[in-house]
């Protein structure tokens, strides 16, 4: 069945689909013409044409086609009447390919002196074209297929650049910081990173080099894309671990909340590594040392960096950068690392949480079932491995943690946790509770409680999707099977105390609460040790006085 056609307007007599295509093509041509008209050289050409018309000068570009263009049409076998014929007329027969003319015939059709047919405006156009070819590298991009250019925004950006640079050709980092924050919308601690990307050095930057880099790399990007682009290596489309080290070096040198670490370079390095590992834990979902643009875009790292540039108290930035959190992680690792070679053996690791983890869980972790160790020493856990473990252990509300512990419990690696696997891990904890004369929890009661929390389709068949749909209760499930201390603490918990903790810190995650409590405990222990040393010192002085 034939489609209906328009009875009026442009394209009457054409099918509906052809009219739609015509309108779309017309809109596209109009859009490209407007973009073409915004170029300075084209505006100059139009003004010259208008001037020629007003002065009564003959203009071959308007009155008749250019001779060279006409000859080109003739060479292709097309007559001027054919070009001007109505598009509604259908050809009587199949079109034939254009005949290839000989070299002499082609040469005879080109006018001997093409410049005689050119007006002043055409000569200007050709000169501008030559200049454009010569200065091709200096012309900024004016057409963006995926993004419409905002001329007003572009003017505001140029105004900011001119105001900050002023008449100076080069400025230092302290002045360029305004470019980083006001123009690029980035954290101020990325200033020297940006300067290095432009000039290769973080000391001074020239206006010409920055404008070129800005137009080519950053102008048409959003602030979050600019941040990702600056942090990664130019040849890569992802961020690696080492890409954060220059940023962390600058942060440790200039952030007011980290000045006290400047006297201890060793702790500076440990703090930087801890922060980067925490970033990769949350952003690098594939755990392959690569943060892609998709990972970066869906994370909150850019917002945290923005807060980092405005907040002087580093401990108020709990995500990634808190020094208190680093202190807790480092002290926990140091307590387990008996020989202080910065590697933990299985026996050292079993002492974590006062031997709270079951032996079966420790064996599974050191068999590298949930995650392969990054340590270069066999059967040794490195500091990076410990950071990943402790965050998974103390905050079982993240996807990474759930996947980690699911692999520990899933003995046959079939993606399902069965009653047999649950009983296998719970049996050891039950024996330890009997040894401690603690009233054991019946396995049947535990299973019923987990079924009520996770709602599996089939009883005692728990899939990973069940845990991802109930993130807040996953910790109860895995703690009952892996950690005796947390199992007993959950059974003896005070509901009112739990509620008060949530009310006092409603924005705290499980990891934030753990780090806060551990930091308070470590601070009190350190304070008691200092008081003990002072007390012993007083006794010494008292003894000396008694001798006299």
Distance, CA of 178 to CA of 126 (rounded, Å): 42
Q: Could you write out the DSSP letters of every residue in 425-445?
A: HHHHHHHHHHHTTPPPPPHHH
Distance, CA of 63 to CA of 70 (rounded, Å): 13
User: How far does CA 441 lie from the centroid of its chain?
Assistant: 45
pLDDT band at 116 (very low <50, low <70, confident <90, very high): very low
pLDDT at 181 over 60: yes
Q: Where are the alpha helices (DSSP H) in 376-442?
A: 383-394, 399-409, 419-435
Quick one: which of 110, 101, 118, 122 has its CA closest to 70?
A: 110
User: What is the three-class DSSP state of 111?
Assistant: coil
pLDDT of the residue at 82: 41
pLDDT in tens, 474-490: 999 999 999 999 999 99
> Tokens for 412?
């046959």
User: How far does CA 75 lie from the centroid of its chain?
Assistant: 55
Q: What are phi and psi of 196, to 5 degrees?
A: -65, -35
For helices 419-435 and 399-409, the axis angle rounded to 10 degrees is 90
Beta bridge partners of 172: 204
* b/e map 290-322, b = 16+ CB within 10 Å: bbbeebbeebebbebbbebbebeebeebbbbbb
> Tokens for 278?
């925490």
Q: What are phi and psi of 148, to 5 degrees?
A: -75, 135
Give me Rg for the CA atoms of the chain: 37
pLDDT of the residue at 142: 55
The more confidently predicted of residues 373 and 548 is 373
pLDDT of the residue at 46: 84
Q: What is the pLDDT of the chain when averaged over all its residues?
A: 81
The more confidently predicted of residues 29 and 372 is 372
pLDDT at 107 over 60: no
Lowest mean pLDDT among 73-77, 217-221, 360-364, 389-393: 73-77
pLDDT of the residue at 61: 55
Distance, CA of 230 to CA of 189 (rounded, Å): 12
Distance spanning both ends of the chain, measured CA to CA: 122
> Tokens for 277?
């590992």
Distance, CA of 344 to CA of 239 (rounded, Å): 29
Answer for the pair 328, 522: CB distance below 8 angstroms, yes or no: yes
User: How far does CA 381 lie from the centroid of its chain?
Assistant: 29
User: How far does CA 177 lie from the centroid of its chain?
Assistant: 22
pLDDT of the residue at 132: 54
Query: What is the pLDDT averaged over residues 57-66?
Result: 56
Domains in the chain and their CATH numbers?
A: 151-231 (1.10.238), 322-493 (1.10.238.10)
pLDDT of the residue at 493: 87
Distance, CA of 160 to CA of 178 (rounded, Å): 9
pLDDT at 278 over 50: yes
Tokens 């749909």 locate to 469
pLDDT of the residue at 205: 92
> Tokens for 290?
């690569």
pLDDT band at 522 (very low <50, low <70, confident <90, very high): very high
pLDDT in tens, 452-479: 989 898 878 999 999 999 998 899 999 9
Answer for the pair 161, 175: CB distance below 8 angstroms, yes or no: no
Q: What is the DSSP-derived secondary structure letter of residue 412?
A: T
Distance, CA of 354 to CA of 53 (rounded, Å): 94
The more confidently predicted of residues 538 and 270 is 270
Answer for the pair 279, 290: CB distance below 8 angstroms, yes or no: no
* b/e map 64-99, b = 16+ CB within 10 Å: eeebeeebeeebeeeeeeeeeeeeeeeeeeeeeeee
pLDDT in tens, 410-452: 999 999 999 999 999 999 999 999 998 888 888 899 899 899 9
Distinct helix (H) and strand (E) counts, the chain: 28, 6
């Amino acid at each position: 069945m034939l489609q209906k056609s328009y009875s009026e307007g442009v394209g009457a007599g054409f099918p509906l689909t052809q009219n739609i295509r015509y309108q779309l093509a017309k809109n596209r041509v109009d859009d490209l013409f407007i973009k073409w008209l915004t170029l300075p050289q084209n505006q100059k050409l139009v003004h010259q044409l208008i001037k020629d018309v007003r002065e009564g000068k003959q203009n071959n570009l308007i009155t008749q086609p250019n001779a060279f263009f006409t000859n080109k049409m003739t060479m292709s076998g097309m007559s001027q009447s054919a070009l001007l014929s109505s598009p509604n007329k259908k050809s009587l027969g199949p079109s034939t390919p254009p005949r290839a003319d000989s070299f002499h015939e082609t040469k005879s059709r080109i006018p001997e002196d093409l410049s005689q047919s050119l007006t002043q405006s055409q000569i200007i156009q050709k000169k501008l074209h030559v200049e454009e070819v010569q200065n091709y590298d200096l012309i900024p991009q004016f057409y963006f297929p995926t993004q419409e250019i905002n001329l007003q925004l572009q003017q505001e950006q140029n105004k900011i650049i001119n105001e900050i640079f002023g008449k100076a050709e080069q400025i230092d980092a302290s002045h360029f910081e305004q470019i980083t924050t006001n123009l690029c919308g980035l954290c101020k601690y990325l200033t020297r990173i940006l300067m290095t990307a432009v000039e290769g050095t973080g000391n001074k930057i020239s206006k010409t080099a920055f404008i070129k880099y800005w137009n080519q790399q950053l102008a048409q990007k959003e602030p979050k894309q600019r941040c990702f682009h600056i942090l990664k290596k130019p040849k890569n489309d992802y961020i690696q671990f080492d890409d954060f080290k220059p940023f962390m070096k600058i942060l440790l040198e200039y952030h007011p909340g980290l000045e006290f670490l400047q006297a201890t370079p060793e702790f500076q390095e440990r703090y930087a590594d801890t922060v980067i590992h925490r970033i990769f834990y949350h952003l690098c979902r594939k755990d392959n040392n690569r943060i892609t643009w998709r990972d970066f875009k869906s994370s909150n790292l850019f917002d945290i960096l923005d807060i980092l540039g405005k907040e002087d108290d580093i401990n108020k930035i709990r995500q990634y950068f808190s020094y208190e959190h680093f202190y807790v992680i480092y002290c926990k690792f140091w307590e387990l690392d008996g020989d202080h070679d910065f590697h933990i053996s299985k026996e050292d690791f079993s002492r974590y949480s006062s031997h709270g983890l079951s032996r079966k869980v420790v064996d599974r972790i050191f068999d590298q079932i949930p995650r392969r160790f990054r340590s270069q020493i066999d059967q040794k856990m490195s500091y990076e491995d410990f950071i990943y473990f402790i965050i998974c252990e103390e905050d079982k509300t993240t996807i990474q943690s759930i996947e980690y512990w699911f692999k520990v419990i899933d003995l046959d690696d079939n993606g399902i946790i069965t009653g047999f696997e649950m009983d296998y891990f719970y049996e050891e904890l039950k024996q330890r509770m009997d040894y401690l004369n603690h009233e054991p929890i019946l396995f049947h009661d535990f299973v019923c409680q987990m079924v009520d929390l996770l709602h599996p389709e089939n009883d005692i068949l728990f899939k990973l999707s069940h845990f991802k749909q109930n993130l807040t209760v996953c910790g109860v499930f895995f703690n009952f099977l892996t950690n005796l201390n947390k199992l007993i603490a959950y059974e003896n918990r005070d509901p009112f105390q739990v509620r008060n903790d949530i009310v006092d810190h409603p924005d705290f995650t499980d990891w934030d609460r753990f780090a806060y409590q551990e930091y308070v405990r470590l601070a009190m222990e350190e304070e008691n040790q200092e008081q003990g040393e002072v007390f012993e010192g007083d006794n010494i002085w008292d003894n000396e006085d008694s001798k006299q």
